[in-house]
Amino acid sequence: MDAIRILGGVPLTGEITIGGAKNAALPLMAATLLTDQPLTLINMPELVDITTMSNLLRQHGARIDQSALAPGSVEAGPTGRSMTLTTDKVTSVTAPYDLVRRMRAGFFVLGPLLARTGEAKVSLPGGCAIGTRGVDLHLKALETLGAKITVKEGYVYATVTGGRFKGANVTFPKVTVGGTENLLMAAVLADGDTTLENAAREPEIGNLAECLNAMGAKITGIGSGTLKITGVKTLHGARVAVIPDRIETGTYAIAAAITRGRIVLKGTRYELLEAVFDSMRRAGVSVEVTSDGIVVSAQGQLTGVDMATEPYPGFPTDLQAQWMALMATASGAGMIAETIFENRFMHVPELRRMGADVNVHGASAIVRGPSKLSGAPVMATDLRASSSLILAGLAADGETLVNRIYHLDRGYERLEEKLGACGARIERIVGH
């Protein structure tokens, strides 16, 4: 398995172009199952999770053509990559364990498969080990629209009476991003009207809803916690841009701050990450929006600030681990309350081995600083924990070896190259 070696202590300076959002691209790809016409997605990221989703969709009958155009062109977005997915016919309604276990987003095929064909057999998902992460809310909501569901031998078996969902009112007892996305893709082809209350408001949901509307769906309330969907008979093809990755944006913003450097973030948008930029400013980091991009810089001592993860527009849980690394280098105490996942402090023992002073009390952690971080061999446990250890390594004295980085390639494209271009001494060791 690959490892990443970092020689820390270099203030990073330069520019980084942010790619398309993984968590937007995955449900957008699943939307191909809703139509027999081509769906073209531009500004696609190149990541292991995208390959896994492509393999899953291919075995449902999708044809996938990828093309590369000039990066930054209007036709292709900042990444230069586009993907056209066409599912003339759904050839299999089974999403097998071997593919869905690699990535929780594989479960997104359930709603669209049921909407298009009236039946599906989908493995219960895998993904990062950051909590129990049930799918009960997806299943209950789909039942409200008329699905008959049984779970046995690790699979969800579902059918829709009469082959078509019936519009209904769904109130999610808890905000769920994936649940909202699965339900949107189910409700667009339902008979009648559906209302989703307490829906997730993440920008990736907006991206999916806009895409579905471009395909002929009728969704209103986009960006709010109440989505109203009037079902239509069929959907058609569309051409849609994937929004910039706000987690990648935040990770590189923290890279600038933790190394007391200056990085210009290009191809991304400030409003996707306001809560994080607000917290960074309170800690003493400079964040400026210029015509060139978002300029993030820091010098000298930063101050510890308190933060709680929350559904959008709050501070994203996917940046909590990276934020903790930054707080270790700040002066004073910073409290971190994790309100989304119950087991998302697995990076703490590894950060401690690098010299961070972190105490966990239930779902909260207190970080006391400033700590002089020192390089160490560490183990990556999940996707965002991996990037937290890399950030700590960039700030630490000496050599950090981050082992088991396979999760990193699920969510960060060419990370070593992007950081290396800003002066980081970072390399991948293949097959370490």
Give me the least distance between CB of 200 and ligand UD1, in Å please.
Answer: 6
Q: Which stretch binds ligand UD1 (CB under 6 A): 7-15, 136-144, 225-233, 363-371?
A: 136-144
Give me the least distance between CB of 100 and ligand UD1, in Å please.
Answer: 12
Give me the least distance between CB of 421 and ligand UD1, in Å please.
Answer: 26
Residue 105 in the binding site for ligand UD1 (CB under 6 A)? yes
Residue with smaller CB distance to ligand UD1, 104 or 228:
104
Which 137-156 positions form the footprint of ligand UD1 (CB under 6 A)?
Answer: 137-138
Q: Which stretch binds ligand UD1 (CB under 6 A): 176-184, 261-269, 320-328, 358-366?
A: 176-184
Residue with smaller CB distance to ligand UD1, 23 or 297:
23
Residue with smaller CB distance to ligand UD1, 272 or 396:
272
**Per rule CB under 6 A, count of chain residues that contact ligand UD1:** 21
- How far is it, in rounded angstroms, from Cα 180 to Cα 186? 10
Residue with smaller CB distance to ligand UD1, 23 or 213:
23
Residue 178 in the binding site for ligand UD1 (CB under 6 A)? yes
Residue with smaller CB distance to ligand UD1, 71 or 223:
223
Q: Which of 3, 62, 135, 190 binds ligand UD1 (CB under 6 A)?
A: 135
Residue with smaller CB distance to ligand UD1, 10 or 48:
48
Give yes or no: 211 in active site.
no
Give the closest residue to 329 by CA, choosing from 307, 298, 350.
298
Give me the least distance between CB of 310 and ligand UD1, in Å please.
Answer: 9
Residue 177 in the binding site for ligand UD1 (CB under 6 A)? yes
Residue 173 in the binding site for ligand UD1 (CB under 6 A)? no
Residue with smaller CB distance to ligand UD1, 15 or 143:
143
Q: Which stretch binds ligand UD1 (CB under 6 A): 5-13, 33-41, 133-141, 281-289?
A: 133-141
Q: Which of 318, 350, 413, 416 binds ligand UD1 (CB under 6 A)?
A: 318
For residue 223, what are its two tokens? Answer: 């960006």
Per residue, the 3-state secondary structure of the chain, as one string, reads CCEEEEECCCCCEEEEECCECHHHHHHHHHHHHHCCCCEEEECCCCCHHHHHHHHHHHHCCCEEEEEECCCCCCCCCCCCEEEEEECCCCCCCEECHHHHCCCHHHHHHHHHHHHHHCEEEEECCCCCCCCCCCCHHHHHHHHHCCEEEEEECCEEEEEEHHHCCECCEEECCCCCHHHHHHHHHHHCCCECEEEEECCCCCHHHHHHHHHHHHCCCEEECCCCCCEEEECCCCCCCEEEECCECHHHHHHHHHHHHHCCCEEEEECCCHHHHHHHHHHHHHHCCEEEEECCEEEEECCCCCECCCEEECCCCCECHHHHHHHHHHHHCCEEEEEEECCCCCCCCCCHHHHHHCCCEEEEECCEEEEEECCCCECCEEECCCHHHHHHHHHHHHHCECEEEEECHHHHHHHCCCHHHHHHCCCCEEEEECCC
Give me the least distance between CB of 178 and ligand UD1, in Å please.
Answer: 3
Which 20-79 positions form the footprint of ligand UD1 (CB under 6 A)?
Answer: 23, 26
16, 42, 113, 128: the catalytic one is 128
Give me the least distance between CB of 21 and ligand UD1, in Å please.
Answer: 9
Residue 341 in the binding site for ligand UD1 (CB under 6 A)? yes
**Chain residue whose CB lies nearest ligand UD1:** 178
Give me the least distance between CB of 383 and ligand UD1, in Å please.
Answer: 8
Give me the least distance between CB of 385 and ligand UD1, in Å please.
Answer: 12
Tell how far CA 416 is from the center of its chain.
19
Query: Residue 365's beta-bridge partner residues?
Result: 336, 360
Per residue, the 3-state secondary structure of 6-66, as one string, reads EECCCCCEEEEECCECHHHHHHHHHHHHHCCCCEEEECCCCCHHHHHHHHHHHHCCCEEEE
Q: Which of 249, 317, 386, 400 binds ligand UD1 (CB under 6 A)?
A: 317
The answer, yes or no, to whether the previous bond of 313 is cis (omega within 30 of 0) is yes
Q: Which of 11, 179, 261, 267 binds ligand UD1 (CB under 6 A)?
A: 179
**Interface with ligand UD1 by CB under 6 A: which residues?**
23, 26, 104-105, 131-138, 174, 176-179, 317-318, 340-341
User: Which active-site residues does the annotation give?
Assistant: 128
